[in-house]
Amino acid sequence: MRTFLCASAAVVLTACGGNWSTRDLEFVNVLPQRADLQARLPVVGSTSQPLEGVLTRKDGLNVGDPSQAYATTKKAATDFNGLLDQVLSILDTVRLYPPTTRSEDGRVWGPYPDAKNVGFEFQVAIRQLDPARFAWSIQARPRGGALFNVLTGTFDASTSAREGTGAFVVHVANFKDRLAVDPAMQSLDRIDVGYQTASWPRRVDMAFTFTPGNTSGLSVIGYTYRYLQDGRGALAYQVRTTSVEATVLSAVALWNTSGAGRAQAVVAEGTYTGATVSECWDTATKVVFYAESWPGGQMNGAVADCATIDGL
Amino acid sequence: MTPCRTGFPLAPGRGSARGAKPALALLCVLAASSALARDSGPLHRFALFIGNNTGGEGTRPLYYAKDDAKRLHDVFTRLGGVRPEDAMLLLDEDADAALTALGELERRAKDAKARGERTSLFFYYSGHAKDGALRLGDSRLPLESVKSRLAQSPSDTRVAVFDACRSGALTRTKGVRRAPAFEVETGATRAAKGLVILTSSAADEDSQESDLIGASYFSYHLATGLLGGADESNDGRVSLAEAYAYAYERTVASTADSAAGPQHPTFSFDLAGNGDVVLTDVKARREGLRIPESAPPGTYFIIDGRGVVVAEALKNAAERLIALSPGEYVVKRRLADHLRLGRVRIDEGQLVTLDEASFQNARFSDDPVKGTGLSRVYERHWSLLAAGTFQLVFDRPTGSGGQFPSAPYVGAEATIHNLIAKGVGLGLDASYGWTSGVVGSDLLPSTPYSFTNVLFGTTLLYEWLQEGRWVPFAGVHLGLNLMSRSFEDPSLPRQSYTTLTPGVVGGLKLRITKTVGLVARARVHYLLYNVDETRSLGTADLGLMIDWEFRE
């Protein structure tokens, strides 16, 4: 009889439970999602031109030429998304699993071992600081050791857990010598990402802090991406170069729903500080206007042919 | 008194009929010569009573066939002028034993006749009959041979009563499947003189038993009629015609509302030259209950210590005599708005006069009739039910923080009835529910999802009035819910929750046919949620169902 009762109790206990939790959904929504932050550049035509920066161009462009500004913007967006993918992919994985630990104000996933980093364990934790503010982290540790931060973030759920203002830091300096990382990150100490998804246009900022004295690897210093729900978008980014004429360049590209866009690159630091190159492209990513600001610079096409893009 | 119709289509002294008019005809025809028969000198009576609850392969055991035989044996030996040594009672015996006993009684009757005595033979059988044979356990006694033996019997009058099935397979019926009609009109019977055959039901009907009376309906009413209740002429003697008419009327009335349908006893008779037969002489016995002229008219029910009605008498202006065995009885008279109850004690050889004035008023809820009190295994059978239900969850809408949605369900349920006791059933069910909606909270925007629940359950239920057209039931139910929800947003995980939900169930079944019924059912469950927090929720599901009963 005792065996029967124990077996019955075991059946009852094991038969109950699950991950049915609306609170879990609130917590996982706090984590930034790639779909909300990724740059979405309209795919128009089929450009096969090399993704070279505007400043690598030696000669000016004529109307009807393939737009190099579009190609450069597309590469910048791809790089931007690639970095986000590296940082946020682990969060997408976390979403698919129920938390390991639930408390009234928090959820913890892990620590889980990681196949890419043998001997290390990862843990994702989210804590609700007040009704609308959350803090989250991705931490790692050698098995049995102390945890160290990989990512730390905050989110202010001004509208809902999915929509608000957030920021997170990738503590590259903490882990680049211990964990497997992309070679592009070896030159960095940290990446700061800020975003706002509560209103339109939405915004994502990404800034890189380089290891002091490091001049290799990434040339981009940071990005700012804004977009509207109809597909209009803008991507600003800063690039450092080894050229004394233009040590730091600042580029802004805007596009509308049809794919037509315009871009302007400004020398932010260097002997040519203030010099600009402007370029507009049509829906087929062909140049409709090109202008160089320095004396003797080229200007082809009419600025009136450039697409009007506002609201960003 | 109902007048006899002139021009009745049956020839006087011979007939075969079914129904109230034939019963009346029998009464009229036999009554014409009954006085002569009653004054024709001493009659040596022999009787054989056979009761067998089993019918061998392909039949289900009966519960009261032996009791029926014992009851009739008791009535005839006490009141029917059958000496104990001339009465044979065979319980659960086989066909060979029955034929041997019949042969022995025939031999005795022949000897008596040789001595110049008039003789009669009463043959009673209660049990299974199928495919043209009486089924006594695993042995068979061809009906034709029984009838031939009776037709050729040396007795002056022979009365045979067969309380056996004709066909069908319903609750408490005597038989398990359709069988050829039980033909009582054969060449042998038509050629015989002084042979009466009574059957408990018509060729296309079932003979039914009842736990309430602890007997088959027909044998019960026949026996109670023979105690004096059937004495229509009020002469203190119950004739064959009176007993049949009484048993017929009450058997039809008792079974009219049963699931198996009304049961109509039949008769076949040929008493030309023999007149009516007095079966019991209540007056001569002088042991029982006398309802005097002064007692208020109406129907009096005599109830034994088990709560079973053992006799009933319709009292008019004249006094009535009811033969009863020694013992204590409750006498009940039912009025429009209450009962009148009294107690009588009958000692051996004593005829007690009822004093209705000493009765006390009682409410209907205090009715002493309880039935046999038997709780042994009732006929087991099973049913299959197709259900369409709607489950209400006692919770906020999921878009406002509620956990589980209300949803429609379809499912099926199999139930074994009378599993461990009469009326007790055990069911297993499975159903599938689905819906869609949004989940939301202060921090969660409205998030569309699809919900499914696979529900397995088991029900322990009790059914009342199983033989009736309306069958109420109630019980407890334990469900195992396998719930899941998936979201349109692919970034959100599929969520599941598995839990046991204990609850109660109640409903009402309406039998449309013998096997098909409509069921209205309600269930209320307790639902414990314990992931985000511990919450006690509840569900109620309401449904309409179609029910098929499967019986052998």
Give the per-residue SS3 of A23-73.
HHHHHHHHCCCHHHHCCCCCCCCCCCCCCCCHHHCCCCCCCCCECHHHHHH
ipTM for the complex shown: 0.77
A95-114 residues touching B, CB cutoff 8 A: 95-98, 102
Q: Which residue has the higher pLDDT, B276 or B242?
A: B242
Could you count the other beta carbons within 10 Å of the beta carbon of residue A100? 14
CA A17 to CA A14: how far, in whole Å?
Answer: 7
Probe site for chain B from A13, A21, A25, A94 (most B CB atoms < 10 A): A25
Range with lowest mean pLDDT among A83-87, B117-121, B279-283: A83-87
pLDDT, one tens digit per residue, over A76-109 is 888 888 888 887 888 887 888 889 999 999 999 9
In chain A, % of residues over pLDDT 70: 88
Residue B31 pLDDT > 90, yes or no?
A: no
* A24 at interface of B, judged by CB pairs closer than 8 A: yes
Measure CB to CB from residue A25 to each of B447, B499, B529 and give the nearest one: B447
Beta carbons of B80 and B279 less than 8 angstroms apart: yes
Give just the sign of the alpha carbon dihedral B399, B400, B403, B405: negative
Residue of A nearest to B502 (CA): A12
Beta carbons of A259 and A283 less than 8 angstroms apart: yes
CA B393 to CA A269: how far, in whole Å?
Answer: 66
User: Which pLDDT band holds residue B354 (cuts at 50, 70, 90)?
Assistant: very high
Chain B: closest CA distance from residue A250 (Å): 35
Probe site for chain A from B443, B447, B453, B455 (most A CB atoms < 10 A): B443
* A28 at interface of B, judged by CB pairs closer than 8 A: yes
Measure CB to CB from residue A95 to each of B447, B493, B528 and give the nearest one: B493
Residue A53 pLDDT > 90, yes or no?
A: no
- Whole-number CA gyration radius for chain B: 30
Alpha helix (H) ranges present in chain A?
2-14, 22-30, 34-37, 68-95, 172-175
Range with lowest mean pLDDT among A292-301, B28-37, B58-67, B219-228: B28-37
Contacts of B499 in chain A (CB under 8 A): 15-18
User: Which pLDDT band holds residue A219 (cuts at 50, 70, 90)?
Assistant: low
**HSE-up (13 A, CA, CB side) for residue B450:** 5
* A29 at interface of B, judged by CB pairs closer than 8 A: yes
Residue B257 pLDDT > 60, yes or no?
A: yes
Measure CB to CB from residue A16 to each of B401, B447, B498 and give the nearest one: B498
Residue B119 pLDDT > 50, yes or no?
A: yes
Range with lowest mean pLDDT among A187-191, B45-49, B233-237: B233-237
Beta bridge partners of A151: A138, A170
Residue B437 pLDDT > 60, yes or no?
A: yes
Could you count the other beta carbons within 10 Å of the beta carbon of residue B149? 18
DSSP notation for B466-525: TTSSEEEEEEEEEEEEEEEEEESSTTSPPEEEEEEEEEEEEEEEEESSSSEEEEEEEEEE
Query: What integer is the mean pLDDT of B278-284?
Result: 87
Residue B58 DSSP one-character state: T
Give the angle subtended at the CA of A95 by the CAs of A89 and A96, to the nearest 5°.
105
User: Which pLDDT band holds residue B272 (cuts at 50, 70, 90)?
Assistant: low
Query: What residues in chain B have their Cβ under 8 A from chain A's Cβ atoms?
Result: 401, 403, 439, 441-445, 447, 480, 483, 485, 491-493, 495-500, 528-532
CA B475 to CA A37: how far, in whole Å?
Answer: 57
CA B153 to CA B145: how far, in whole Å?
Answer: 12
**In b/e form, how buried is each residue of B301-323, taking b as 16+ CB within 10 angstroms?**
bbbbeebbbbbbbebeeebbbbb
Measure CB to CB from residue A95 to each of B445, B492, B500 and give the nearest one: B492
Q: What is the pLDDT of residue A11?
A: 54
Chain A: closest CA distance from residue B61 (Å): 34
* A81 at interface of B, judged by CB pairs closer than 8 A: no
Measure CB to CB from residue B443 to each of A19, A98, A161 and give the nearest one: A161
Give the angle subtended at the CA of B104 by the CAs of B99 and B107, to the nearest 5°.
125
Q: What is the pLDDT of residue B20?
A: 39
Beta bridge partners of B430: B412, B456
**In b/e form, how buried is each residue of B175-187, taking b as 16+ CB within 10 angstroms?**
bbeebeebebebe
Give the residue from B137, B116, B112 showing the smallest Cα distance to B127. Answer: B137
Tell me the residue length of chain B.
552
Give the angle subtended at the CA of A149 by the CAs of A146 and A150, to the nearest 5°.
125
Query: What integer is the mean pLDDT of B209-231?
Result: 86
Q: Which residue has the higher pLDDT, A61 or A280?
A: A280
Strands A148-160 and A133-142: antiparallel
And the tokens for B210? 């009842």
Q: How confident is the prediction for chain B on average, in pLDDT?
A: 81
Residue of A nearest to B438 (CA): A22
Q: Judging by beta carbons within 10 Å of its beta carbon (0-12, 13-18, 19+), is residue B485 exposed, middle or buried?
A: buried
Query: What integer is the mean pLDDT of B371-391?
Result: 72
pTM value is: 0.56
Q: Do A22 and B441 touch (CB under 8 A)?
A: yes
Contacts of B530 in chain A (CB under 8 A): 16-17
pLDDT, one tens digit per residue, over B293-315 is 999 998 898 988 877 788 888 88
Q: Which residue has the higher pLDDT, A252 or A84?
A: A252
User: Which pLDDT band holds residue B35 (cuts at 50, 70, 90)?
Assistant: very low
Residue of B nearest to A132 (CA): B443
Strands B43-51 and B118-130: parallel
CA B213 to CA B307: how far, in whole Å?
Answer: 9
DSSP notation for B401-447: T-SS--EEEEEEEEEEESSSSTTEEEEEEEEEEEEEEEE--SSS--E
Give the residue from A103, A87, A176, A97 showing the smallest Cα distance to A137. Answer: A87
Q: How confident is the prediction for chain A on average, in pLDDT?
A: 85
Give the angle subtended at the CA of B113 by the CAs of B108 and B117, to the nearest 5°.
110
User: Which pLDDT band holds residue A10 (cuts at 50, 70, 90)?
Assistant: low
3-class secondary structure, A265: strand
Contacts of A92 in chain B (CB under 8 A): 491
Residue of A nearest to B529 (CA): A17
How many angstroms separate the Cα of A273 from the Cα of each of A53, A93, A215? 17, 45, 21
Size of interface A-B (CB pairs under 8 A): 86
Q: What is the pLDDT of residue B177?
A: 29
